[in-house]
Structure 1
Amino acid sequence: MAHRRSKVLLLSCFLSFFLIVYAGKSYYDILQLPRGASDDQIKRAYRKLALKYHPDKNQGNEEANKKFAEINNAYEVLSDGEKRDIYDKYGEDGLKQHAAGGGRGGGMNIQDIFSSFFGGGPAQEEEKILKGDDVIVELDASLEDLYMGGTMKVWRVKNVLKPAPGKRQCNCRNEVYHKQIGPGMFQQMTEQVCEQCPNVKFERESDFITVDIEKGMQDGQEVLFYEDGEPKVDGEAGDLKFRIHTAPHDRFRREGNDLHATITITLVQALVGFEKTIKHLDEHLVDISFKGITNPKEVRRFKGEGMPLHFSNKKGDLYVKFEVLFPTSLTEAQRTKIKETLG
């Protein structure tokens, strides 16, 4: 009976442990990986997600910042063989006990992890992954899309790796061995060793690609398509980057987060005032009426009527410059009346 109770207790403990390990979102789910993922798959998944959710690209976006922290926490564990083994067997509680017991806790912080991929510090020690060339496309976005957000369809022609007949040498590496050159004498030698892999070839493919234009994007900002650049045999493809520029507009001119417009009024309107509206980029009307005197080339500011700030609810301002249209000629009667009025 006691033996049976022991077995029941052991089974209950095992089920409790199983629920702890697999409840909630696992580190593998966070990095969008299967549990048996290789070290190379883990590195690639981290690189892709860290670029997407990095705080520099998501300023003011708390959800993205939280996701970035989750990604780094998951990578810190899964990229460390010892920690990964403990996590696979005992879950997060096992990691906590391991750290409390003087294991190799702490590890790299978020900055160390990210810099190991994208420059600085431990990056010197990382095995360099062969990468194809990045493709940079200069893209003119309409002011309407940059004001409200939108999408652009771009025709993309690119090289794609396809299977080809025959075999090729790949994954070449230098191996060190020792050769006996005499009694008790050995010489260290280096030999290049290559595997035989299926052959590949480049083919050209084309299709439309959808580029998302986010509200308030600035000139020079880039939309990244990870690993959609030039492919690399026995490596990873480069990235495709669309560099955004503001296309010329017939009514507005953009300067940073501000908009500028020029409006022409008559001499009478300049002297006695006027009622006027202008249609904005999303077609709402901005009232620019004025009851006083308007000087030629006078500029007035309309607060909050400029461009939206990227990842913010704030907006820049609209500056309207007034050009006064003078009459080309006056009759004697008009001259007399003007003198009487203004004299």
Structure 2
Amino acid sequence: MSKRDYYDILGVSRTAEAAEIKSAYRKLAIKFHPDKNPGDKEAEENFKEAAEAYEILSNPEKRSRYDQFGHSGNSASGFGGGGMNMDDIFSQFGDIFGGGNPFENFFGGGNSRGGRRVQKGTNLRIKVKLTLEEIANGIEKTVKVNKQIHCQSCDGTGAKDKSSFHTCSTCGGAGSVRRVTNTILGQMQTTSTCPTCNGEGVEVTAKCTSCKGEGLVRGEETITFNIPAGVSEGMQLSMNGKGNAAPRGGVPGDLIILVEEVQHETLKRDGINVIYDLYINFSDAALGTSVEIPTIDGKAKIKIEPGTQGGKILRLKGKGIPEVNSYHKGDQLVYVNIWTPKAVSSEEREILERLKGSANFKPQPGKSEKSFFERIKEYFE
């Protein structure tokens, strides 16, 4: 089932400002929040869908990629917002509602979620080099990533053993503390992260000796992912939850994959088109010939018509790069260049001197083909 357009989900235009996007998401978050719609699976899915749309459209880089490439720009075969869970979503509320979980007061949720702060691991960035052939066809890549992983000794808790955990004496396990102050308008209640347990609700009295209580160690993970066909230099793909692990069982960060193009030996990329410079000698240009040229898919034989002029562009339709998230494919453009020898033998010079006097070898401006730039313009029109 295809994903809905993120702008349609939030009910905003494609030119909407950041404030409008934030406001639209806030309304949907309140409308579909699980505490307000207990047991309603449809509301829960709408809640997650709105959070995913906000995650992409509130981030300038992710929004730019989405506007250009659609869902594939941020999510292709395991990439992007599709893997958001409730911890991801509730971690957004500090930005949307100015801190804390507002639904405790709106819907009487109290400490139904413990009021505990969900920590998120940091994002990890890697570079992947791709050949022109891999870009044109798409490819599955497997890489080994050195990153922070959960400590195996303590299972990521940071504690020496189970007996090392104690409920926080300051917040009573809530992860947050409330303060009531008297103002001229009456009493005002504020909620903040517990300073003793840092929002986790528990205190560790004896730390794990392997990770020194951090719950994290350096490790290596083998990750496999698919690169869609048509990606370009500098494009970033994101895999949710494949970044550095978070302390105390929090939400892992994302793996950001930066695409680098490896320059091809003979072909050049121009958007979705591929360019090849073909050099032929004067005789072949005048008499015509067949030549074999490289393409992304292998070799191809093309015909050079008699009387071909230097600068002529031949087109091999559909031999270029596909557009991301589209069935459209570019072409291969063959630029014909006439090779002029820098030195000739005495015999060759004699032949050329005789030909120079022939009427067919004299420039004929009135009958000449269109200029190189005119042919380029006609091709793209």
Shared fold, TM over 0.5: yes
Give the stretch that moved more between structures: 232-241 or 122-131: 122-131
The verdict on how the C-alpha distance between 1:116 and 1:305 changes in structure 2, with shifts beyond 3 A counting, is: closer
Secondary structure in structure 1 of the residue aligned to 2:333: strand
Q: Which of 123, 130, 137 is the aligned partner of 1:141?
A: 130
Aligned-residue CA RMSD (Å): 4.2
1:79 matched to 2:82: no
Higher relative contact order (CA 8 A, sep 6+): 2
Quick one: distance in 1 between partners of 2:338 and 2:133? 28
- Correspondence for 2:231: 217
On the 8 A contact 2:296/2:319 being kept in 1, the answer is no
- Correspondence for 1:238: 253
Counting only pairs closer than 5 Å after superposition, residues 84-123 of structure 1 correspond to structure 2 as 84-85=38-39, 87=40, 114-115=53-54, 119=58
Give the C-alpha shift of residue 228 in structure 1.
1.6
Quick one: distance in 2 between partners of 1:113 and 1:302? 41
Counting only pairs closer than 5 Å after superposition, residues 327-338 of structure 1 correspond to structure 2 as 327-338=341-352
Give the C-alpha shift of residue 156 in structure 1.
0.7
Secondary structure in structure 2 of the residue aligned to 1:207: strand
- Structure 2: give runs of 5+ residues left out of the alignment: 7-28, 60-91, 102-116, 205-212, 358-381
Rg larger in 1 or in 2?
A: 1
Secondary structure in structure 2 of the residue aligned to 1:276: strand
Give the C-alpha shift of residue 146 in structure 1.
0.9
- Correspondence for 1:275: 290
1:173 matched to 2:176: yes
Quick one: distance in 2 between partners of 1:130 and 1:340? 85
Identical positions, percent: 18
1:196 matched to 2:202: yes
Secondary structure in structure 2 of the residue aligned to 1:270: helix
Counting only pairs closer than 5 Å after superposition, residues 280-299 of structure 1 correspond to structure 2 as 280-283=295-298, 285-299=299-313
Give the C-alpha shift of residue 229 in structure 1.
1.4
Query: Normalized against structure 1, the TM-score is what?
Result: 0.59
On the 8 A contact 1:77/1:84 being kept in 2, the answer is no
- Structure 1: give runs of 5+ residues left out of the alignment: 1-29, 31-51, 57-74, 96-106, 180-185
Q: Which amino acid aligns with 1:238?
A: G
Give the C-alpha shift of residue 299 in structure 1.
3.7
On the 8 A contact 1:156/1:209 being kept in 2, the answer is yes
Secondary structure in structure 2 of the residue aligned to 1:231: coil
Secondary structure in structure 1 of the residue aligned to 2:315: strand
Quick one: distance in 2 between partners of 1:330 and 1:82? 88
Give the C-alpha shift of residue 129 in structure 1.
5.0
On the 8 A contact 2:296/2:320 being kept in 1, the answer is no
- Correspondence for 1:124: 96
Give the stretch that moved more between structures: 229-238 or 126-135: 126-135
On the 8 A contact 2:285/2:305 being kept in 1, the answer is no
Per-residue CA shift, 1:267-315, capped at 9, x if unaligned? 21122222013232222x4343211334445443333221111122221
Secondary structure in structure 2 of the residue aligned to 1:279: strand
Q: Which amino acid aligns with 1:322?
A: V
Query: Normalized against structure 2, the TM-score is what?
Result: 0.54
Per-residue CA shift, 1:211-249, capped at 9, x if unaligned? 312111222332322122123325422110111122111
Give the strand-richer structure, 1 or 2: 1
On the 8 A contact 2:131/2:262 being kept in 1, the answer is yes
